Amino acid sequence: MTYCVGLLLKAGMVLLSDTRTNAGLDNIATYRKMFTFEEAGERVITIMTAGSLSVSQTTLSRLRDAIRATDSDGETSIMKAPTMLKVAEIVGNMLASVRMDVEEKLHSMRQSASASMIVAGQRRGGNPRMFLIYPEGNFIEATDDTPFLQIGEHKYGKPILDRVVNMETSLEDAQKAVLLSMDSTLRSNLSVGMPLDLQVIARDACEVTMSRRIEAGDADFRAMSEAWSVALRDGFQQISL
Amino acid sequence: MTYCVGLLLKAGMVLLSDTRTNAGLDNIATYRKMFTFEEAGERVITIMTAGSLSVSQTTLSRLRDAIRATDSDGETSIMKAPTMLKVAEIVGNMLASVRMDVEEKLHSMRQSASASMIVAGQRRGGNPRMFLIYPEGNFIEATDDTPFLQIGEHKYGKPILDRVVNMETSLEDAQKAVLLSMDSTLRSNLSVGMPLDLQVIARDACEVTMSRRIEAGDADFRAMSEAWSVALRDGFQQISL
């Protein structure tokens, strides 16, 4: 399983992913689920993945191949696509085609494999945009009404986002919000695990503003988690039935 | 969908269920999901249900028939069963047999139906016990380590329980906790809906200590929900990244 969350705010975008991959309960590994394509000042695109590792790795590899291809253009390379919408289309089409390839192989075993992705980015002259790409390749976009997108194990971490996040949330508060959302998920689902990848892309920077890997023993993360537990318990005691 | 939660504490048991039933998104109705069997001072058993209404209603009807049957005994009637463990067995067996009957009917339509239940109760001379009955009829029991059981849409409401509930929690705090857990679920899943049924069974009372239906416009519930939102936001602001 996986938990990835992205916030699209007036001030920019905040992205967080875990790194746990498992095939069954007895085969657990750490894989990065956040991938960035960047031409600083011109274009930044970050993709987060959930689902079958074989599908998401192959999709990312083919996207990289398409960028490097000598005949790449705005129809095939996410680094040349004229808009973020076109980027989402390219990723969606690639994801759908890889999924079909893999499912063909798996068909005889009566298994299936799929993946979903969050694609966030901005090109110079455009707005920051964020998309959730479904396994079938179609997608939805984050809006003012719903400024966050989640993939993977999304339910445990949603209540906190519902209550504290809106378009006006600062980038600093947004980082707290996604980390607390992840913390709730980590506590409840063993298949979501540390370390975490946290990234901030400030509006109009068109490059990664801050990127940080948070390891399992991270003192700051633990302190924040404990402070949140205390705040919840205090708040709980204060309200009356 | 449904959300039901039960807490087994040193001070007694607290139970909460929603009442929304839906067949698809366009056929929504209100049905009670909490059912109590009581011989005050001797025995109290409350059953909460999630899943197919046809399965849970038939199971409850047959349990009632078995209680009323002239030849009822401790093997068939939950009101005569010698222990709460036996009560759980009777309910589990009945649930499994009804599920099989219904699935036989549905087989030709390639549909299936199942239900799960929480069974909580105490008989005079015994301890309060609480069981989660799976659709197959087997069950697990709440323990000191995990003093709550949930059925239905359980994920949204779990983080708050994880953080504030343990065996020592008072019955009053426990009511707050289950209501806030429900509140988080109501916000995120349209198929869980008001009114709510809240019940308290104090330890060794062997009867329902408090039972209350909370209607959609309930001012107290709304005030508590809003106070919790404020407490969360305040707590969120106070902690540092």
CB-side exposure of A165: number of CA atoms within 13 Å?
33
Average of per-residue pLDDT across A164-193:
94
**What pairs with residue A129 in β-bridges?**
A121
Which residues of B touch chain A, with CB atoms under 8 Å apart? 155-160, 162-164, 172-173, 175-177, 179-180, 184, 187-188, 220, 224, 227-229, 231-241
Domain hosting A129: range is 3-236
Strand partners, A213: A197
Closest CA relative to residue A21, chosen from A53, A68, A66: A53
Whose CA is closest to A30, among A146, A191, A186? A191
Selected for mutation to probe chain A from B155, B181, B184, B225 (highest A CB count within 10 Å) is B155
Q: Would residue B239 count as lying in a domain?
A: no
Q: How confident is the model at residue B164 (pLDDT cuts 50, 70, 90)?
A: very high
- Nearest C-alpha neighbor of B200 from the set B88, B99, B96, B122: B122
Contact A225, A232 (CB under 8 A): no
Confidence of residue B210 (pLDDT cuts 50, 70, 90): very high
Confidence of residue B185 (pLDDT cuts 50, 70, 90): very high
Sheet bearing A210-214, strands edge to edge: A148-152, A3-9, A12-17, A196-202, A210-214
Position A106 confidence tier, pLDDT thresholds 50, 70, 90: confident
N-to-C CA span, chain B = 37
pLDDT of B194 higher than 80: yes
Backbone phi, psi, residue B108, to 5° = -65, -25
Residue A187 lies in a domain: yes
- Rounded Cα distance, B85 and B79, in Å: 12
What does the pLDDT average to over B143-164?
A: 93
Report how far apart, in Å, the C-alpha atoms of B207 and of each of B99, B101, B196, B203 are.
30, 33, 20, 9
> What's the pLDDT tens digit per position in A43-90?
999 999 999 999 999 999 999 999 999 999 999 999 999 999 999 999
The separation between CA B30 and the C-alpha centre of its own chain, rounded to angstroms, equals 16
pLDDT beyond 90 at B151: yes
CB contact under 8 A, B235 and A224: no
Question: How many CA atoms lie less than 13 Å away from B169 in the CB half-sphere?
Answer: 27
Q: Is A232 close to B164, i.e. CB distance below 8 A? A: yes
Closest residue in B to A169 (Cα) is B237
Considering only CB atoms, which chain A residues are within 8 Å of B238? 227, 231
- The whole-number pLDDT of residue A109 equals 80
The answer to whether position B168 is within a domain reads yes
A189, pLDDT greater than 90? no
3-state DSSP call for residue A180?
helix
How crowded is residue B180: how many other Cβ atoms within 10 Å of its Cβ? Answer: 25
Whole-number Å distance between alpha carbons of B19 and B94: 22
Q: Is B240 inside a domain boundary?
A: no
Q: What is the pLDDT of residue B111?
A: 79
The answer to whether A164 contacts B234, with C-beta atoms less than 8 Å apart, is: no
The whole-number pLDDT of residue A12 equals 98
In this predicted structure, the answer to whether residue A107 has a pLDDT above a threshold of 90 is no
Q: CB within 8 A of A73, min separation 6: which ones? A: A80
Q: Which residue does chain B place closest to A221, by CA atoms?
A: B241
Cβ-defined contact of B162 to A187 (cutoff 8 Å):
yes
Average pLDDT, chain A: 94
Q: How confident is the model at residue A24 (pLDDT cuts 50, 70, 90)?
A: confident
Residue A241 counted as domain residue? no
Q: Is the dihedral of CA A104, A108, A109, A111 positive or negative?
A: positive
Number of domains in chain A: 1
Q: Is the pLDDT of residue B204 over 80?
A: yes
Judging contacts by C-beta atoms under 8 Å, the chain A residues touching residue B239 are: 176, 224, 227-228, 231
Contacts of B111 (CB under 8 A, 6+ apart): none
Q: Rounded to a whole number, what is the distance in Å from the CA of A171 to chain B's nearest CA? A: 11
Mean pLDDT over B107-126 rounds to 91
Rounded (10°) angle between helices A171-188 and B219-238: 110
Q: Write the DSSP symbol of residue B120.
A: E
Q: Please state the rounded mean pLDDT for residues A200-229.
A: 96
pLDDT, tens only, A113-146: 889 999 999 999 999 999 999 999 999 999 998 8
The structure tokens listed for B194 are 């008001």
By the 8 A CB rule, do A46 and A15 touch?
A: yes
- Considering the domain boundaries, does residue B241 fall inside one? no
Name the residue with higher pLDDT: B22 or B35.
Answer: B35
A11 part of a folded domain: yes
Kindly give, in sequence order, each residue whose CB lies less than 8 Å from that of residue A143, ignoring residues fewer than 6 positions away.
none
Using CA atoms, how far residue B16 sits from B32, B150, B180, B195, B225, in Å, is 11, 10, 11, 11, 16
- Cβ contact (<8 Å) for A228 and B235? yes
Domain containing B83 — which CATH number?
3.60.20.10
**Mean pLDDT of the B220-234 span:** 93
Contact list, B188 vs chain A (CB under 8 Å) = 155, 158-159, 162
Instruction: Check residue A137 and report its DSSP letter.
Output: S
- Say yes or no to pLDDT of B150 above 80: yes
Half-sphere exposure of A15 (CA within 13 A, CB side): 33
Which pLDDT band holds residue B186 (cuts at 50, 70, 90)? very high
Report the alpha-carbon distance of residue B98 to residue B61 in Å, rounded.
Answer: 11
pLDDT at B106 over 90: no
Q: Which residue of A has its CA nearest to B187?
A: A159
What's the mean pLDDT when you consider all of chain B? 94
CB pair distance less than 8 Å for A176 and B224 = no
Q: Is residue B85 part of a domain?
A: yes
Position A193, amino acid: G
pLDDT at B22 over 90: no
Confidence category of residue B103, pLDDT binned at 50, 70, 90: confident
Shortest CA gap B153–chain A (Å): 10
Question: pLDDT class for A184, splitting at 50, 70, 90?
Answer: very high
pLDDT of B105 reads 85
Contact (CB, 8 A) for A55 and A40 = no
Instruction: Report CB contact under 8 Å: B176, A232.
Output: no
Enumerate residues 6+ apart whose C-beta is below 8 A from A180.
Answer: A160, A224, A225, A228, B236
